[in-house]
Structure 1
Amino acid sequence: MNTFNENIEKYASLAVKVGVNIQKGQTLIINSPIECAEFTRIVAKCAYENGAKNVHVRWGDEDLALIKYLNAPDEAFDEFPKWEADGLEYLAKNGAAVISISASNPELLKDVDPKRIAAANKARSLALKNYREYIMNSTISWCVISIPTKAWAKKVFSDISEDEAIQKLWDNIFKIVRVDKDDPVNAWNEHLQTLNNRVEFLNNKNFKSLHLKSSVTDLTIELPKGHLWAGGGEDNANKTYFVANMPTEEVFTMPLKTGINGTVKNTKPFNYAGNLIDNFTLTFKDGKVVDFKAEVGHETLKKLLETDEGASYIGEVALVAYDSPISNSNIVFYNTLFDENASCHLAFGMAYPTCIENGTEMSSEQLQEAGANNSLIHEDFMIGSSDMNIVGETHNGEKIQIFKDGNWTI
């Protein structure tokens, strides 16, 4: 059995070698909460040992962010540092890889005016639009991972002490990302092959539409001509294979922007920008959210949908088995990286250009003409359940059950 420190080293190595698959002479950007500094240093050391030329760390301080949200003037949230946006775009243009550590306090901004949060998110998205295209197009390698922080661990395990909560979250993360295995890299290769087999099946069937039905959801999703399913890992512009999410259990594609009709209810809390949105129902007509209700975070959801024209449309549909490692842990993580990989989910906002034939070579206008949604945001929310059934319909009218009672039939 591995020691804690051995698991830490394996996790860092997995993120560097498999996640972004660092190449000799490449620059690495690490986005990290300041609380995760010790682990970030281990990742940086591993990156240098595997050929990285430079490692640049962008520290995030939640306490400082909260101080600003509560005390700065309104106009402070309408701008984002140009020097920071220009620097990131420069690094991406020159082929840098990006590792982001997602470990936010799910309720950090619960007492902040949603208008301030919406303004700050919009300003940030506008400023980083060019940089984000390198990510969304998979031009560069990127990977999102998570490690415990005090506030996050206590939110997940509120009935035990802080130290116990942190250790319990570590133990679950190690298991879920397979670093508790003797050979995590081989374990990941086997898992990625399973996901790839499902991707191939779905792409070969070339479904015209999907019908998602459960006790709380009844939704028809049309798929655009030339759509592509993806999952597991993919190649960047230099044909370097990388894995964008660790963990990952999903296969996903883009819906036709105007092709979603029906109602859907979330099945896990949605952590958006330091606020929780929960017990919400959405009604879609011709792709757009035309009505919604939310028992928790109604105003935050309203502001999200008002971000821009595309925010009230869907950019991603992802399929995840209910009988999967994260789901079987019976833990609500209040962290999208984990919760989205425990449940079928949709994403408000921008579609991945990689999910349509030749999408990475299309202009924004061409993508929209092909049926892809465009937006400043891309935010996943969970809809999967043990009674979710999904039927795909092909262009010749054949209907094939893809999911039965929450799990794959293929």
Structure 2
Amino acid sequence: MDFNRNLDKYAELAIKVGVNIKPGQDLLVRSPIECAPFVRKVVKHAYETGAKNVYVEWSDEECTLIKYLNAPDEVFNEFPKWISDQYVHIAKNGGAFLSIHAANPDLLKDVDPQRIANYQKASGIALKEWRSYTLSDKCKWSIVSIPTEAWAKKVFPNVSSQEAIDKLWDAIFKCSRVKDQDPIQAWADHNADLKLRMDFLNKKNFKVLKFKSNKTNLTMELPEGHMWLSGASVDPNGVEFNPNIPTEEVFCLPHKFKVNGVVHSTKPLVYGGNVIDNFSLTFKDGRIVEYTAEKGYETLGKLIETDEGSHYLGEVALVPFKSPISDTNIVFYNTLYDENASCHLAIGSAYRTCVKNGNEIKDEDLDKYGINESLTHVDFMIGSSDMNIIGETYNNEEVQIFKDGNWAF
């Protein structure tokens, strides 16, 4: 009974806090078929909240793997236009998007990395217009996760499949505040706390951030007119929504051409059905000029070579080492969770909402403002218990932002 109650609360949270559906609004839910019981609860809550139409787009990892192993090469240079047209149509008409991310981290480990890279690029090109809506918060969108057997066994390999699923459910409910008596109020309080951090950073208007730990030594400048944002976003109608459940981050964008030094990963990155682990990136004038990886080196290289913009950063996010997700001491092999247990950066496109009037800047002027654009946006984790972050203002005042992995204020 407790599980069913929590599952229902989680579905309600996804609708009322994640995408925050309003009466008359359309919703597209994208989900693996394994998650059908949860999706049905999501659909029910959406209609009860006043949704006009709820569309469900199903996927199946086994079919995906079969395709990667057997389809002709040219297939991976294509992306169905009817899918991208559907997404754009829903976004233009004020619809919302809920994605259920529960991928097997090792699904494509035996697939030719070039096939994966080709399809990632093809889909990036095809979905560019739709992503312009999500990256600029012109539509409401959110991501949640629920356990699948393959993912749960990756996280908890030494127990039975059912026990692994149960343990992962328990962690997800805790990290998403579902176990609170009133999760919706808990999220309102949490968003308010993140906003306080955001307001402090915006008031200081830092010019430079310096990251220093045992392995990382990185300096980045922030663009003029930058704005820190927190977990909750606001759509063009002023409606608040949470793109990620859970979230612990306050984020901004680095200046595209003003990042220098070396940064080391602190958690595995799952990209394109492969795990990249223990990797480093070296930056000069914003560009990745060297990289290493103990695992997934070729996959990391394909990611960096997606396009010119994937050689640069698009996001910097501050997350305390001591947080509900980090305190679980679980490596989730799922970026939604791992990025919210650790400070992180993102290779690829920046959120234009992180610059004053950023949505009004023309594409051809982005470089002038230091805003990166790319077909991709991939977060990777750099936070650790010894991470120190110093901010330097335009008046040369130095402020300790993070001390030993946590907020210093």
**TM-score bracket relative to the smaller structure:** over 0.9
8 Å contact kept, 1:326–1:338 = yes
1:85 alignment partner AA: S
SS of corresponding position for 1:393: strand
Shift of 1:312: 1.1
Could you list the runs of 5+ residues in structure 1 that have no partner in the other structure? none
More displaced, 193-202 or 229-238? 229-238
8 Å contact kept, 1:353–1:367 = no
8 Å contact kept, 1:28–1:96 = yes
Shift of 1:121: 0.5
Residues 12-161 of structure 1 aligned to structure 2 (within 5 Å):
12-161=11-160
Q: Distance in 1 between matches of 2:205 and 2:68?
A: 47
TM-score of the pair, normalised by structure 1: 0.99
Q: Distance in 2 between matches of 1:97 and 1:366?
A: 29
8 Å contact kept, 1:283–1:291 = yes
TM-score of the pair, normalised by structure 2: 0.99
Q: Distance in 2 between matches of 1:260 and 1:364?
A: 21
2:257 alignment partner AA: T
Shift of 1:362: 1.7
SS of corresponding position for 2:280: strand
SS of corresponding position for 2:40: helix
Q: Distance in 2 between matches of 1:216 and 1:159?
A: 30
Identity of aligned residues (%): 60
Q: Residue by residue, what CA displacement relative to the aligned partner does 1:202-255 show, whole Å, maximum 9, x if unpaired?
A: 000000010000000000011000001001212101111111100000000000
SS of corresponding position for 2:192: helix
Shift of 1:368: 2.6
Which residue of structure 1 lines up, in the alignment, with residue 232 of structure 2?
233
Q: Distance in 2 between matches of 1:252 and 1:262?
A: 20
CA RMSD of aligned residues (A): 0.7
Shift of 1:333: 0.1
Q: Residue by residue, what CA displacement relative to the aligned partner does 1:357-405 show, whole Å, maximum 9, x if unpaired?
A: 0011222223332110010000000000000000000001000000000
Structure 1 position 251 matched with structure 2 position 271: no
Which residue of structure 2 lines up, in the alignment, with residue 183 of structure 1?
182
SS of corresponding position for 2:370: coil
Which residue of structure 2 lines up, in the alignment, with residue 317 of structure 1?
316
Which residue of structure 2 lines up, in the alignment, with residue 262 of structure 1?
261
8 Å contact kept, 1:260–1:288 = yes
More displaced, 332-341 or 271-280? 271-280
8 Å contact kept, 1:100–1:144 = yes
8 Å contact kept, 1:359–1:367 = no
8 Å contact kept, 1:321–1:342 = yes
8 Å contact kept, 1:18–1:185 = yes
2:408 alignment partner AA: T
Which residue of structure 2 lines up, in the alignment, with residue 276 of structure 1?
275
Which residue of structure 1 lines up, in the alignment, with residue 393 of structure 2?
394
Q: Residue by residue, what CA displacement relative to the aligned partner does 1:128-168 show, whole Å, maximum 9, x if unpaired?
A: 11011110010011111000000000000001000000000
1:98 alignment partner AA: F
1:309 alignment partner AA: E
1:353 alignment partner AA: R
Shift of 1:127: 0.4
Structure 1 position 295 matched with structure 2 position 255: no
Q: Distance in 2 between matches of 1:290 and 1:121?
A: 22
Q: Distance in 2 between matches of 1:344 and 1:174?
A: 22
SS of corresponding position for 2:394: coil
Which residue of structure 1 lines up, in the alignment, with residue 207 of structure 2?
208
Q: Distance in 2 between matches of 1:273 and 1:31?
A: 17
Shift of 1:18: 0.9
Structure 1 position 359 matched with structure 2 position 358: yes
SS of corresponding position for 2:325: helix
SS of corresponding position for 1:208: strand
Which residue of structure 2 lines up, in the alignment, with residue 7 of structure 1?
6
1:76 alignment partner AA: V
Q: Distance in 2 between matches of 1:93 and 1:227?
A: 27
Q: How many residues align?
A: 409
More displaced, 122-131 or 2-11? 2-11
Q: Distance in 1 between matches of 2:23 and 2:365?
A: 35
Q: Residue by residue, what CA displacement relative to the aligned partner does 1:323-369 show, whole Å, maximum 9, x if unpaired?
A: 11100100000000000000000000000010000011222223332
Shift of 1:88: 1.0
Which residue of structure 1 lines up, in the alignment, with residue 402 of structure 2?
403
Q: Distance in 1 between matches of 2:367 and 2:62?
A: 39
Q: Residue by residue, what CA displacement relative to the aligned partner does 1:244-293 show, whole Å, maximum 9, x if unpaired?
A: 10000000000000010000110000000110001111110000110111
Could you list the runs of 5+ residues in structure 2 that have no partner in the other structure? none
SS of corresponding position for 1:219: strand
2:105 alignment partner AA: P
2:355 alignment partner AA: I
Q: Distance in 1 between matches of 2:256 and 2:124?
A: 21
